[in-house]
């Protein structure tokens, strides 16, 4: 079997064809940088979130959850530094009107779109979406859609520590939407205007921060291996000193080798106590904790891990996508880890005459909480191809022999191996894949 290279165009086409991702407002011409997730995509996102949470909560330290609001006040984003610093440089070509992020292109050269060199000045573009609460338009009604989930965690630090029994070191994890008015959304789910983040803020004492930073880098690396990403396509890239924010004690990007180059998948940062200090200063509220051993108060340090659900979704698709020549036709297959695949198994009756028998197995597995699909349309070969394209790890076929021997044929997505297994063993077989 030979394999052909994956491209962004192939991923986008598969996503639409098989119900993973649609351009938002497709029927009205689309909304740039905004996407809707179809039945396969929505389920796969759930699986990604569940796997992330399991990795984060497998820490030996307590990790609690937060679900913060999407709207944030002017005061929050002033204190966090986003109002003053969260912008990208923008430049326009005066000839063809194409807009670029100035740091994405060489402005000493001509416009790659029209070939002429006639640029505007570089202007700073604020990336936060601004809106207004209520009917009055004064300064107090201004609000912003959050550009990251992290700040909800910092501004609730006191609420969490005083309403629960968590003690340093501990983490607050959050999965939720974030919004950035990206100048040039591109590469499909890689750079979107509305996306979702999975972030952990881990609070610790100043003298343990370096150690926890190293621990979380290891944990996160292991996570990517356990969900099946090719290890050779992952690397850690420590930031250079001139890339770091003034308060940062260190930052490492987990990078993936996309068809368009090595790019950031996740950021892991040793943030010092910058965020809590900022919010304490701006709000006038005490955000320190008391160290019982040292008998002194201190503002905790923070290690942050931050990855986009959608960017990881795209990464997993790139990594899993294979095209193989098989029996004189091309088989497209997503070799997704069974925990990530939208559907874990499919049940087919060989012919419609056997539908009731096969359907019974389907309903049984479904009632046990497994992600199972039933398909009786078209030839078995066609049904296999449909499941291959959405990454279903195993298909079971109920045939006429099944009436006699109580077995079904299990067909493996990756090896194409087929074997007979007893119907009573199907559930365990599927659960083993999910381990």
Out of 268, 289, 307, 358, point to the residue binding ligand ATP (CB under 6 A). Answer: 307
Buried b (16+ CB within 10 A) or exposed e, 231-262: eeebeeeeeeeeeeeeebbbbbbbbbbbeeee
Taking CB under 6 A as the criterion, which residues in 140-179 touch ligand ATP?
148
Residue from 82, 180, 279, 383 touching ligand ATP (CB under 6 A): that is: 180
| Piece of the chain touching ligand ATP by CB under 6 A; list 155-163, 168-176, 308-316, 410-418 | 308-316
Token digits for 65? 């959850």
Cβ distance to ligand ATP smaller for residue 187 or 355:
187
Q: Which of 409, 413, 435, 412 lies closest to 422, judged by CA?
A: 409
Helix axes 309-320, 39-57, angle to 10 degrees: 110
Query: How many CB atoms are located within 10 Å of the residue 64 CB?
Result: 13
Residues paired with residue 256 on neighbouring β-strands, in sequence order: 234, 263
Q: Quick one: which of 77, 86, 157, 195 contacts ligand ATP (CB under 6 A)?
A: 195
Candidates 93-101, 162-170, 301-309, 401-409: pick the segment binding ligand ATP (CB under 6 A): 301-309
Residue selected from 146, 271, 279, 311 as contacting ligand ATP according to rule CB under 6 A = 311
Q: Which of residues 207-266 bind ligand ATP (CB under 6 A)?
A: 264-266
Measured CA to CA, the distance from residue 429 to residue 149 in angstroms comes to 39
Distance CA(408)–CA(385), nearest Å, equals 19
Q: Select the residue interacting with ligand ATP from 59, 152, 161, 306 (CB under 6 A).
A: 306
- The span from the CA of 144 to the CA of 146, in Å, is 6
Give the residue among 383, 265, 255, 391 at the shortest CA–CA distance from 317: 391
Q: Which range touches ligand ATP (CB under 6 A), out of 8-16, 108-116, 190-198, 364-372?
A: 190-198
Q: Which is nearer to ligand ATP, 182 or 319 (CB)?
A: 182
CB 392, min distance to ligand ATP, A? 27
Cβ proximity of 160 and 77 under 8 Å: no
Give the one residue of 191, 271, 373, 411 binding ligand ATP; rule: CB under 6 A. Answer: 191
295 burial level (CB within 10 Å; 0-12, 13-18, 19+): exposed
- Tokens standing for residue 164: 């629960």
Q: Which two tokens stand for residue 210?
A: 């370096």
When the beta carbons of 264 and 427 are compared against ligand ATP, the nearer one is 264
- Interface with ligand ATP by CB under 6 A: which range of 17-25, 229-237, 307-315, 413-421? 307-315
CA-nearest of 303, 304, 278, 300 to 291 is 300
Nearest-CB residue to ligand ATP? 308
Q: CB under 6 A: which stretch of 40-48, 134-142, 242-250, 300-308 binds ligand ATP?
A: 300-308
Using CB under 6 A as the binding rule, whether residue 192 contacts ligand ATP is answered as: yes
Quick one: 235 or 368, whose CB is closer to ligand ATP? 235
Q: Are 227 and 335 in contact, with CB atoms under 8 Å apart?
A: no
Nearer to ligand ATP by C-beta: 242 or 417? 242
The nearest distance, CB 312 to ligand ATP, in angstroms, is 7
Cβ distance to ligand ATP smaller for residue 310 or 388: 310
**What are the backbone angles phi and psi of residue 351, rounded to the nearest 5°?**
-135, 165
Per CB under 6 A, 319 contacts ligand ATP: no
State the residues that interact with ligand ATP by CB under 6 A.
148, 180, 182, 191-192, 195, 197, 264-267, 306-308, 310-311
């Amino acid at each position: 079997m030979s394999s052909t290279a994956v491209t962004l165009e192939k991923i986008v086409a598969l996503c639409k064809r098989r119900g993973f991702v649609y351009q938002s407002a497709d029927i009205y011409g689309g909304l740039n940088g905004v996407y809707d997730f179809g039945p396969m995509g929505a389920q796969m996102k759930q699986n990604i979130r569940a796997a992330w949470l399991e990795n984060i909560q497998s820490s030996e330290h307590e990790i609690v959850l937060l679900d913060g609001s999407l709207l944030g006040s002017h005061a929050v984003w002033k204190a966090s530094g986003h109002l003053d610093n969260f912008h990208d440089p923008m430049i326009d070509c005066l000839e063809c009107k194409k807009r670029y992020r100035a740091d994405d292109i060489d402005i000493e050269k001509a416009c790659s779109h029209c070939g002429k060199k006639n640029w505007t000045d570089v202007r700073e573009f604020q990336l936060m979406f601004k809106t207004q609460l209520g009917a009055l338009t004064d300064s107090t009604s201004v609000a912003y859609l959050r550009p990251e989930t992290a700040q909800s965690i910092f501004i609730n630090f006191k609420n969490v520590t005083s309403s629960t029994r968590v003690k340093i070191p501990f983490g607050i994890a959050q999965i939720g939407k974030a919004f950035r008015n990206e100048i040039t959304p591109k590469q499909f789910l890689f750079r979107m205007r509305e996306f979702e983040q999975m972030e952990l803020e881990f609070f610790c004492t100043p003298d343990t921060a370096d150690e926890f930073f190293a621990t979380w880098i290891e944990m996160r690396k292991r996570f990517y291996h356990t969900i099946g990403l090719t290890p050779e396509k992952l690397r850690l890239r420590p930031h250079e000193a001139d890339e770091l924010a003034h308060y940062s004690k260190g930052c490492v990007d987990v990078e993936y080798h996309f068809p368009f180059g090595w790019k950031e998948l996740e950021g892991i940062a040793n943030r010092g106590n910058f965020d809590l200090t900022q919010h304490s200063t701006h709000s006038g509220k005490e955000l320190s904790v008391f160290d019982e051993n040292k008998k002194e108060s201190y503002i905790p340090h923070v290690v942050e891990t931050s990855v986009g659900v959608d960017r990881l979704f795209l990464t997993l698709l790139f990594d899993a996508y294979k095209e193989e020549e098989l029996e004189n036709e091309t088989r497209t297959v997503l070799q997704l880890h069974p925990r990530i695949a939208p559907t874990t198994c499919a049940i087919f009756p060989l012919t419609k005459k056997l539908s009731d028998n096969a359907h019974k197995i389907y309903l049984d597995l479904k009632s046990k909480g497994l992600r199972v699909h039933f398909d009786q349309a078209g030839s078995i070969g066609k049904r296999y191809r449909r499941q291959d394209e959405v990454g279903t790890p195993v298909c079971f076929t109920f045939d006429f022999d099944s009436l006699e021997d109580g077995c079904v044929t299990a067909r493996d997505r990756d090896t194409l191996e087929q074997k007979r297994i007893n119907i009573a063993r199907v559930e365990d077989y599927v659960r083993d894949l999910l381990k």
